[in-house]
Structure 1
Amino acid sequence: MKQFQGKRSAPGKRKEQPSAIKKFFRGFDFGKSEGKNSREIEETEINNTEADDQSDKEDLSIEDGLSHLISEEESLSGEQRFNQFMQKLGKKSDSKSLDLSNCALSAEDVTELASLLPFLPEVEEISLSWNACVGGTLKALTVQLHHVNLLKVLRLNNCRLTAEDVISLGEAFEIVSQLEELDLSWNSNIGGKLSLLTKKLQKGCELKCLKITDCNLTAKDGESLAEILNVIPNLEVLDLSINKHLGCSMKVIAEELKYVPGLKELNLHMCGLKQDGLQGLDTALQHLAELRKLDVSCNREIGGGFKDSTAHLASLKNLEVLDLHQCCVTEEDMTVLSQVIPLLSSLQELNLSSNKSVGASSDPLLGRLRFLPKLKSVAISNCGLSEDSLSSLAEAALHLPELEILDLSWNKCVGGNLKLLWAVLKLATEIQVLRLSSCNLVAEDLAFLTSLAQDGHLGRLQKLDLSYNDSISDEGWAAFCPGLAAFKDLSELDVSLRPSSCRDCGTWFGGLLAALTQLPALAELGMQRWVLSESQRKQLEGFNQDSQRNIRFDC
């Protein structure tokens, strides 16, 4: 190829200087008269020169065509290599999205992928997540990223990244200036080394989504992150979940959140957040008017701190998701939250699960949910609800026309009192998920659900969780199973017993199986701890003969 390019580089010289071979033979006159005059000789020379020029032009034309063919062949070869590479991994080729997640990539595969990047100039998304062998080989890939300068998304979840990989990734930031999403979650070796990456971020970085979930981040990493928030003003999603040592630096991070006013999602689940960090976060909320999701769940040490940290929470008029589950919320906290949460006019999802004071509070929040008509999901599992608080919820839920998910699991008061939700379940035409696990349900509760479905209600129900309700008698199951067919859209059903239990399936199994055959959408069935005979097992296996369903039983 270089030889061809070298010949084309000096066409002028070729015209002025015919080849030595042509000059040599030009001095001979084969088979012609020797009696030529000077004019004829001159004309012959001119004609020969023109012929040489024409020949040179033809040579150049051939060379150009050959060069073009070689170029096409090289390009086609690269495309073929890429297609073969993807086929080997059982993936379909896509010029813009390269998804190789969970493909058991080897170090050699990563090196081969790096060699293919020059043929993928249109790639905008690369995902190598859940490939442990990527760790230690990332540099081979990052040095080729200049070939994919349209790259916007890079996902490297659970790749066992090393310190060297983090350094290489940092250096790549100078190349992939258009990167908008970076996901490094579940790489525990990043802990203590985040500064190797953050110090390479340039001012005006286009990053919109940064996820560093469960990376063993330290307080020092939190400080490094805080220092670069001012250079990523377009940040919309920040996920620092499951980094329990970050709590010590959360106040510093909160102070710098003012530099990302367009933040829409902040996930701080299980971050070791403490009361001072919660206070700092509340102060930062005044700068985050665009926030759509706030998750501070599973931070037990913030319990008791809400009374001093909700001054700016009510100002989040665009907030759609608020997750406070398992935060050790106190009754005093509930008094404050009962005043603030009803002011979040755009709220669609509220999770207060595993906070026992929700049901015990003298200022019940549940009755005030009526002021949140956009609510689609209410999760109050294991909240110590009483019959009174269940009644308050039932009354408020009448004003929630868009309710799709209701989780009342692990509230024992529901057993025998499900009828209190009669009006709610009758009017909630959008409800798709109903979770009643470990609620001490009795036969009458199942009969109530069946009658609702047979009367045309709960028509869109897709998931029904009745697990861990050992209190339901065999007669109750026998009456319930034939009516299951009324739940036409049901895709998931769980009737498993508690781990400590084991009961014979009884005579109601036939009714269950008959109903299942009338539920074409059913994909999952949980029947753990129910004792099945060999015949019953075979019948279930026959029901699942096309392997399109997931049926769980272990007794």
Structure 2
Amino acid sequence: MSQTRKKTSSEGETKPQTSSVNKFLRGSKAESRKENNDLKTTDSQPSNWIQKTAPSETAKPLSSEMELRSSMEKYEQFLQKLGKKAVNKCLDLNNCGLTTADMKDMVALLPFLPDLEELDISWNDFVGGTLHSITQQMHLVSKLKILRLGSCRLTTDDVQALGEALEMIPELEELNLSWNSKVGGNLPLILQKFQKGSKIQMLKLVDCTLTSEDGTFLGQLLPMLQSLEVLDLSINRDIGGSLNSIAQGLKSTSNLKVLKLHSCGLSQKSVKILAQVIPLLSNLQELDLSANKKMGNSSENLLSRLRFLPALKSLVINNCALESETFTALAETSVHLSALEVFNLSWNKCVGGNLKLLLETLKLSMSLRVLRLSSCSLVTEDVVLLASVIQMGHLAKLRKLDLSYNDSICDAGWTMFCQNVRFLKELIELDISLRPSNFRDCGQWFRHLLCAVIKLPQITEIGMKRWILPASQEEELECFDQDKKRSIHFDHGGFQ
């Protein structure tokens, strides 16, 4: 477009418009230059978004050009007021404290953003009760692919208006309505326009007070969502009873990669139903079943069938009250999860004294990045076992290790662990904090920890809450902190 203008004899007449466009894009171009250091600072050329929006020199009168220029300036001023920068095809107003007046300004600008693909107004309380003003303009942003409305205090009228407007944005790929309680009981009103062939890939409905009826409707809808890759129904405690319908629907979602059912009130019956579906989700990469305590004595079949998920990268099963039999089943199947990167077993007391059941998994886990064993009632033998695995060169890719709230480990166990933690060359975060009710003096193992940290080039955070440092160790830490070449935060309980 700029090249064409250089060749025309009316170059002088078109410069003001180009200048206006460049001014409008200055925020996004500056951001782009920051991310790409190899780009040189030159006169910005209009993006495709603006090219389509900007009027033709021959087709539009001067008044239209002036109107466009004025709207662009207002858009830039609007973003600057909210501390945001212009980003091509994206309007991100997440957690901006939008007022009613701001909402009106934003709605007035939508007609000038026909190529908008992403709109995020999450965590703005004043959106609630005013969403209809946006949905009435949805036909003007029909290319929208991402719509995020999390924690907007949506009203019943809002969700009904949204349901009517969704058919105006057929390209929608992501919808996030999390933390809006009025979604519960009204899910059919919102999603009724989704038809077979829908392009939706990500559906997030966290803590929406979904009812059993909502769950039944969702189960019937899922077969129409053939492109669905991410489904997050976490913190909806009443949908456990409708999991039969949801499970039947999941059988048709062969492309599903992420399934999150954290704190969904899964019953023993629903867990058994889910076990029948799991083998069919062969593309699943993330599974979150955490905070479903009734899984503890009824999930052997479910956990044993995880071996049919060869692509699984993240398994979050913390706070599920696992019992010995279920933990044994999990340990046996985890050996087959060669792609596992995140393994969270925290708050399952049965792990304590039984970490040896995971020995083969820990040896074979070449991809493991995050291991969380917080509040697992680990004993000294467990930590010694972990230390020996680390010493043998396993867990070499580990970046985050959480051993907090395991207060029964003696100083000898921590010494053994700290002597070998130096082999975790990619470790970034380590947490060995004590429970809030417990304070202990650091033993001689702290000196081994400091020696190990020197050999860990990437570590930045060490959680040691409620471990108290004696005066001698305080001096050692102060000397360590004087090394300006490293920036490591020791979060400890204080000095004594």
Under TM normalisation by the shorter chain, which class is it?
A: 0.7 to 0.9
**Identity across the alignment (%):** 43
Q: 1:346 aligns with which of 255, 273, 283?
A: 283
Question: Is the contact made by 1:398 and 1:424 (CA closer than 8 Å) also made in structure 2?
Answer: yes
CA deviation profile, 1:357-404 (whole Å, cap 9, x unmatched): 222116531011011111111110011111211111111112211111
CA deviation profile, 1:170-207 (whole Å, cap 9, x unmatched): 23222210000011111111011111100111177000
The structure whose Rg is larger is: 1
CA deviation profile, 1:198-226 (whole Å, cap 9, x unmatched): 01111770000001111111222111111
Please give the secondary structure, in 2, of the residue aligned with 1:554.
Answer: strand
- 1:129-208 to structure 2, matched below 5 A, reads 141-142=74-75, 151-202=88-139, 205-208=142-145
Question: Is the contact made by 1:359 and 1:383 (CA closer than 8 Å) also made in structure 2?
Answer: yes
Shift of 1:517: 1.0
Partner of 2:195: 258
Question: Is the contact made by 2:390 and 2:396 (CA closer than 8 Å) also made in structure 1?
Answer: yes
Question: Is the contact made by 1:96 and 1:122 (CA closer than 8 Å) also made in structure 2?
Answer: no
- 1:471-486 to structure 2, matched below 5 A, reads 471-486=408-423
Question: Is the contact made by 2:113 and 2:141 (CA closer than 8 Å) also made in structure 1?
Answer: no
The answer for unaligned runs of 5 or more in structure 2 is 1-8, 36-43, 51-70, 79-84
Shift of 1:541: 4.4
Shift of 1:543: 3.4
Partner of 1:448: 385
Partner of 1:328: 265
Question: Is the contact made by 1:171 and 1:200 (CA closer than 8 Å) also made in structure 2?
Answer: no
**Count of matched residue positions in the alignment of Structure 1 and Structure 2:** 452
Give the Cα separation in 1 of the matches to 2:159 and 2:443.
57
Give the Cα separation in 2 of the matches to 1:496 and 1:144.
47
**Are residues 1:504 and 2:437 paired?**
no
Give the Cα separation in 2 of the matches to 1:92 and 1:210.
24
Partner of 1:514: 451
Give the Cα separation in 2 of the matches to 1:214 and 1:200.
21
Partner of 2:487: 548
Give the Cα separation in 1 of the matches to 2:134 and 2:469.
56
Shift of 1:284: 1.2
The answer for unaligned runs of 5 or more in structure 1 is 1-63, 99-118, 126-137
Question: Is the contact made by 1:151 and 1:178 (CA closer than 8 Å) also made in structure 2?
Answer: no
Please give the secondary structure, in 1, of the residue aligned with 2:251.
Answer: helix
Question: Is the contact made by 1:234 and 1:260 (CA closer than 8 Å) also made in structure 2?
Answer: no
CA deviation profile, 1:76-103 (whole Å, cap 9, x unmatched): 89979998xx7xxxx98247899xxxxx
Question: Is the contact made by 1:505 and 1:531 (CA closer than 8 Å) also made in structure 2?
Answer: yes
Please give the secondary structure, in 2, of the residue aligned with 1:271.
Answer: coil
Question: Is the contact made by 1:241 and 1:268 (CA closer than 8 Å) also made in structure 2?
Answer: yes
| 496 and 338 in structure 1: CA distance in 2 versus 1, 3 angstrom threshold | same
- 1:260-279 to structure 2, matched below 5 A, reads 261-279=198-216
More displaced, 539-548 or 386-395? 539-548
Partner of 1:110: none
CA deviation profile, 1:243-274 (whole Å, cap 9, x unmatched): 12211211222322227711000010111111
Give the Cα separation in 2 of the matches to 1:396 and 1:172.
54
Partner of 1:394: 331
Question: Is the contact made by 2:24 and 2:76 (CA closer than 8 Å) also made in structure 1?
Answer: no
Partner of 1:412: 349
Q: 2:237 aligns with which of 297, 300, 311?
A: 300
CA deviation profile, 1:454-485 (whole Å, cap 9, x unmatched): 11211111111000101111221122211111
Q: TM-score, normalized by length of structure 1?
A: 0.75
Which residue identity does 2:380 align to in structure 1? A
Partner of 1:103: none
Give the Cα separation in 2 of the matches to 1:204 and 1:79.
23
Please give the secondary structure, in 2, of the residue aligned with 1:528.
Answer: strand
Give the Cα separation in 1 of the matches to 2:432 and 2:86.
52
Shift of 1:144: 8.0
Partner of 2:60: none
Q: 1:461 aligns with which of 398, 414, 421?
A: 398
Partner of 1:135: none
Give the Cα separation in 2 of the matches to 1:436 and 1:205.
46
Question: Is the contact made by 1:254 and 1:277 (CA closer than 8 Å) also made in structure 2?
Answer: no
**Are residues 1:122 and 2:59 paired?**
no
Question: Is the contact made by 2:188 and 2:214 (CA closer than 8 Å) also made in structure 1?
Answer: yes
Shift of 1:550: 2.8
| 403 and 430 in structure 1: CA distance in 2 versus 1, 3 angstrom threshold | same
**Are residues 1:282 and 2:215 paired?**
no
Which residue identity does 1:438 align to in structure 2? S
Please give the secondary structure, in 2, of the residue aligned with 1:519.
Answer: coil
Question: Is the contact made by 1:367 and 1:393 (CA closer than 8 Å) also made in structure 2?
Answer: yes
Q: TM-score, normalized by length of structure 2?
A: 0.83
Higher relative contact order (CA 8 A, sep 6+): 2
Partner of 1:13: none
Partner of 2:61: none
Which residue identity does 1:554 align to in structure 2? G
Give the Cα separation in 2 of the matches to 1:416 and 1:378.
21
Partner of 1:242: 179
Give the Cα separation in 1 of the matches to 2:74 and 2:24.
17
Which residue identity does 2:153 align to in structure 1? N
Give the Cα separation in 2 of the matches to 1:404 and 1:196.
44
| 247 and 415 in structure 1: CA distance in 2 versus 1, 3 angstrom threshold | same
| 96 and 495 in structure 1: CA distance in 2 versus 1, 3 angstrom threshold | closer
Partner of 1:4: none
Give the Cα separation in 2 of the matches to 1:143 and 1:78.
11
Which residue identity does 1:405 align to in structure 2? V
